[in-house]
Amino acid sequence: MSAPVVWILIPFLAGILILLFVPEKYSSIVGGTVAMILSLVALIFPIDTALLLGSLSIKISTSVEFFGRSFSLSTADGTLLAIVYGSAAFWFFGVYSPKAEKRFISLGLMIVALFTASIAVEPFLYAALLLEMAAMLVIPLLVPIYQKAGRGVVRFLIYQTLAMPFILFSGWMLAGVESSSGDFGTTVQSGAILGLGFAFLFGVFPLYNWIPMLMEEVSPYVTGFLLWSLSIFTTIFALGFLDRYTWIRTSPQLSSAIIYTGMIMAASAGIFAAMQKHIGRIMGYAAIFETGLVVLAMGLRSSNIVDIVFLLLIPRGLELVIWALAISIIKREVYSLRLSEVRGLARKYPIAVAALVTAHLSITGFPLLAGFPSRLALGQELAGYSLTISFWVFIGMFGLLIAAIRTLAVFVMADENAPWSVNESWVQISMLAIGVIGLFVIGIFPQVLKPFFVNLPSLFEHLGR
């Protein structure tokens, strides 16, 4: 059996079967189990390596041909697959708590499968088409049946669709740039077009306005899943460009442009978050802030670029799923997620509020939490590059901290006679507790992630060397 069949075809077919045959009350358990099994298989069975189980020899081959295109996953991809499907399992098991429809599980598996195909397809430019297919598949999750799409959904689809032709056209131009590197005009044009394509994909300033809109219009759990899955595979796609084309990787002008773009994203997101009166929009701006840090890290011409990027991405999935789950629990109690509506709910939902604030502080970079090691590593790199950029990143972090303090203050503003009670179910408490413990473990003992970083740099041939 080949690796693309295991981690692309099987989850895609599993998503279809769950949608058609699995009762809704079991869909979360089935989908989460499928994702967990795929994660464990990626950890236990190295790709393209024969393993003996008694007299039985098992080997997962690297590639498969499909419609004239090659899909290939190497041994180095095994760690990434374990992280992706392990995180997806947590998202799917968490759906049991907010009682979302089973189409989230089925479509979620298919979306992750398409995103996985985007890193496996050769030529790699076809990844843009697969990312667009995944974006199209997200729409049924964002828009319930017989309901008109909101502005955030429309803008998301428009921006993702606009990104595809820019990236494909730039890929065609890049081939010419590599063969005639002295053609300055073509180099500038291809770089500008490529940058515009990724600006739409990443949602750089000011193209990220669809994210806070979605947090108001759509289920925060669905939006959180989209922000997690889209960011990790878009980042890998972007790193692939940096790795394949020498002039992009070595151009000081392009590197500076990427760094300043990330700085503007991080600073503006933090400032806007501090001014919000809707906890869903605050979560959206926090996700934008973290994406800005990822973009900034990719612009650094450092030997640790891959380690820093993945040190940012791995805790991100845990932070977003905790935050989204906590908001989903709270949203069942109130009509709106505006701060004025959630006042005093810490006494009704203490576990959810505590988890929400912890995830928020982790993205802020609070010490002893999962986001702190990555901010520390990035800060050390920035200190030797530019104190001005470090200052504006700090402004963004400070803005998020203000938003966290405001959120906590509103949640605890209750009448003195209001009783304390725990209204979360045992499943919700278990999921939130596991997530919060994970944030503290990664923050206090970041070395637990070291086994994952052994193979991740080998995904890219030239980056960090």
In a domain, 239, yes or no: yes
63-66 vs 69-72, strand pairing mode: antiparallel
Q: Say if residue 118 is in the same domain as residue 161.
A: no
Give the pLDDT confidence of 283-331 residue by residue, as tens digits: 999 999 999 999 999 888 777 788 888 889 889 989 999 999 999 888 8
In a domain, 34, yes or no: yes
Domain's final residue, options 62, 97, 122: 122
Q: Say if residue 283 is in the same domain as residue 409.
A: yes
Residue span of the structural domain in which 16 resides: 1-122
Between the CA atoms of 10, 13, 15 and 18, what dihedral angle is there, to the nearest 10 degrees?
-110
Give the pLDDT confidence of 231-250 residue by residue, as tens digits: 888 888 888 888 877 777 77
In a domain, 134, yes or no: no
The whole-model pTM stands at 0.91
Q: Say if residue 450 is in the same domain as residue 345.
A: yes
Other Cβ atoms within 10 Å of 57 Cβ, number: 9
Cα-based distances in Å from 268 to 121, 265, 344, 386: 35, 5, 29, 18
In a domain, 253, yes or no: yes
In a domain, 140, yes or no: no
Above 80 in pLDDT, residue 395?
A: yes
Q: Say if residue 182 is in the same domain as residue 64.
A: no
Domain's final residue, options 98, 122, 146: 122
In a domain, 304, yes or no: yes
Q: How far apart are CA 421 and CA 347, in angstroms?
A: 6
Q: In total, how many domains does the chain have?
A: 2
Higher-confidence position of 25 and 285: 285
Q: Say if residue 104 is in the same domain as residue 159.
A: no
Q: How far apart are CA 356 and CA 322, in angstroms?
A: 7
Count Cβ neighbours within 10 Å for each residue of 382-409 and write b for 16 or more, e otherwise.
beebeeebbebbbbbbebbbbbbebbbe
Q: Say if residue 221 is in the same domain as residue 347.
A: yes
Q: Say if residue 32 is in the same domain as residue 94.
A: yes
In a domain, 132, yes or no: no
Q: Say if residue 182 is in the same domain as residue 108.
A: no
**71-80, 108-117, 126-135, 175-184 — which one is most confidently predicted on average?**
108-117
Q: Say if residue 108 is in the same domain as residue 162.
A: no
Structure tokens at 22: 């699995």
DSSP code at position 183? -
> H helices then E strands: how many in the chain?
19, 5
Structure tokens at 342: 């959630």
- Average pLDDT in the 362-385 region? 89
In a domain, 293, yes or no: yes
Q: Say if residue 118 is in the same domain as residue 166.
A: no
Domain's final residue, options 77, 100, 122: 122
Cα-based distances in Å from 171 to 129, 176, 233, 292, 339: 13, 9, 18, 24, 46
Q: Say if residue 106 is in the same domain as residue 213.
A: no
Give the pLDDT confidence of 397-450 residue by residue, as tens digits: 999 999 999 999 999 887 777 788 888 888 889 999 999 999 999 999 988 888
Task: Give pLDDT, residue 96.
Answer: 59
Q: Say if residue 320 is in the same domain as residue 425.
A: yes
Q: Is the CB of residue 238 less than 8 Å from the CB of residue 298?
A: yes
